[in-house]
Amino acid sequence: MQYEFMLDGRAATDMARAIVARRCLTDGAQSYLEAIDAAITQNGSVCVAPTPHTDNTLRPFLHALAGELRNPFPWGPPFTQELKLDNWGQLFNVGQPIARIEMRLLEVSQRLGFEFGEIPGRPEPALLIRLRSGTVVGLMARPRIGDPGVEIFANGAVDVPRVLSEISGIMALHPNQIAVLQQPVARNQIPSEERKAQQRGLLPDLEPLASGVERWSPERLARHRVVIDEDGRFRTIDGGVLDTRMASASWRPNTELALFVMDPHGNLYVSLRRVVSRIHHSTLAGGGPVAAAGELRVRDGQLLTLTDHSGHYPPTRSDNQIIVAELQQRGVNIANVLFDFAAKE
């Protein structure tokens, strides 16, 4: 809420929906509701971090937020949920892929709104998610960042057409963008107990990612580097066009904002996701210094919005001047860019 200047009913509704959907705020509605209740019932100040708001503003907002969170109870599952890659070997070590998405890793990442991580001891970038139906699927890309083809793995005997339909719906895939590699299993051939377990997502030792600000390897950071071409368009490091329509770096709905940092050498890094207590600006910077940090909105490579909103790297006017000058020098047309700068000095 450091850069949220209107803590009104609309803000409470939007934040509650983000919490329930686990957008940025991934610990679950129950955890946040318990924390809010603890904060508003204690006698001390609820302001535990720098904020432009006072106790007199924050307390009514937290009461409203708690009320909004209680409205949709019991909370349904999120559309997709990222899981620990440590579970990959347990789930898919001897399995064969059921299908292949005919796209490059970074294209798939942009469509899904999730970042690929690393499986210990393996060179292939991967992602492990639980779909809303409860089915757990793994996505594995090629070791070389520009090579097309992301394979889909599923645990056990699954209804392949249904799983692929769910993934295609999330990613808005055309039929020619996904190739079936495994003979579909008829739904009535899947043992009933296994089907029930899949629907409930009851797989042993399978947990969402834990809190703790992540520090990424140089290889993973390299996948997040963004360059600007001769036409002033933002491109991913594999040559694809950057698009942040599926980004969720803001808890506000439909903002399409992604995190960015520019390091002291002028290199730009972008993450489609901000996950509280896990993925922040310092993740993209490896905890080191930056020349600028904030959020950006990009469609088809064109910069539409640029902010300086960062909690880890408090903005300064000098930082903002540096990033704007750098973008202009690289040929970015900033005439129609919306600048949302909060720096006061």
Mean pLDDT, the chain, integer: 82
Do both 84 and 195 map to the same domain? yes
Distances (CA, A) of 76 to 195, 252, 306: 19, 19, 33
Q: Note whether residue 208 is domain-resident.
A: no
The counts of H helices and E strands in the chain are 10, 14
Do both 298 and 318 map to the same domain? yes
Q: Note whether residue 2 is domain-resident.
A: no
pLDDT digits (tens, 9 = 90+) for 165-174: 999 998 889 9
Q: Note whether residue 156 is domain-resident.
A: yes
Q: Note whether residue 179 is domain-resident.
A: yes
Instruction: Report H helices in the chain.
Output: 9-20, 29-41, 55-70, 88-92, 105-112, 160-171, 192-200, 218-223, 281-284, 317-329
DSSP bridge pairs for 270: 260
Mean per-residue pLDDT, 271-279: 82
DSSP 71: T
Q: Which residues contact 156 (CB under 8 A, 6 or more apart)?
A: 194, 198
Boundaries of domain holding 99: 80-200
The C-alpha atoms of residue 288 and residue 286 are separated, in whole angstroms, by: 5
Q: Give the residue from 50, 70, 90 where a domain finishes.
A: 70
Do both 294 and 195 map to the same domain? no
Q: Note whether residue 345 is domain-resident.
A: no
Q: Note whether residue 1 is domain-resident.
A: no
Q: Which residue has the higher pLDDT, 182 or 269?
A: 269
Do both 192 and 306 map to the same domain? no
What does the pLDDT read at residue 188? 46
Q: Note whether residue 253 is domain-resident.
A: yes
pLDDT digits (tens, 9 = 90+) for 61-86: 888 888 888 886 766 666 678 888 88
pLDDT digits (tens, 9 = 90+) for 210-261: 557 888 888 889 999 999 999 999 999 989 999 998 887 876 766 889 999 9
Whether cis (ω within 30° of 0) applies to the bond prior to 314 is: no
At residue 221, the 3 state secondary structure works out as helix
pLDDT digits (tens, 9 = 90+) for 12-23: 777 787 777 666
Which domain CATH number covers 134? 3.30.310
pLDDT of residue 99 exceeding 60, the answer is yes
The pair of structure tokens assigned to 67 is 């009320």
Question: CB–CB of 309/295 below 8 Å?
Answer: yes
What does the pLDDT read at residue 5? 54
What does the pLDDT read at residue 189? 46
Number of structural domains found in the chain: 3
The C-alpha atoms of residue 33 and residue 30 are separated, in whole angstroms, by: 5
The edge-to-edge listing of strands for the beta sheet with 268-271 is: 234-236, 225-228, 268-271, 258-262, 292-299, 302-307, 338-340
What does the pLDDT read at residue 80? 79
How sure is the predictor about 202, in pLDDT bands with cuts at 50, 70 and 90? very low
Q: Note whether residue 103 is domain-resident.
A: yes
Do both 195 and 93 map to the same domain? yes
